[in-house]
Amino acid sequence: DSGVTQTPKHLITATGQRVTLRCSPRSGDLSVYWYQQSLDQGLQFLIQYYNGEERAKGNILERFSAQQFPDLHSELNLSSLELGDSALYFCASSAAVGGWQYFGPGTRLTVT
């Protein structure tokens, strides 16, 4: 158990809908990262937050957004969902920017 929690574990929704994925980092970790893993792909970095502020952006679509709250949990919002958004979404946390990242169990999103 990495100490990073993600909810929900599974999510099935229809095209055009909007969903929110939630991540609670390890106790004391200030930095949160979001990654997407599509079928047969490695993990693709989406976005990073540190203590509530956005630090870096990767290949994140404009339909996706994220935020980190004062209690340090983070949410990833995916809107106008398309079939191609079906993937595993992982959250990771580290104590500081650049620290080793510990991953949550992921949320499997299926868009039908």
Binding site for another protein (CB under 8 A): 2, 4, 31, 33, 35, 40-45, 48, 55-56, 58, 90, 92, 94, 97-106
Pairing of strands 74-78, 64-68: antiparallel
The distance of closest approach from Cβ of residue 111 to another protein in the complex, given in angstroms and rounded to an integer, is 20
List, in sequence order, every beta strand (DSSP E) within 10-111. 10-13, 19-24, 31-37, 43-50, 53-57, 64-68, 74-78, 87-94, 102-103, 107-111
Tokens of 18: 């909007």
The distance of closest approach from Cβ of residue 59 to another protein in the complex, given in angstroms and rounded to an integer, is 11
Identity of the residue, 94 or 111, whose beta carbon is nearer to another protein in the bound complex: 94
Identity of the residue, 21 or 106, whose beta carbon is nearer to another protein in the bound complex: 106
Identity of the residue, 35 or 64, whose beta carbon is nearer to another protein in the bound complex: 35
Identity of the residue, 75 or 103, whose beta carbon is nearer to another protein in the bound complex: 103
How far is it, in rounded angstroms, from Cα 74 to Cα 23?
5
Which residues lie across from 92 on neighbouring strands? 33, 103
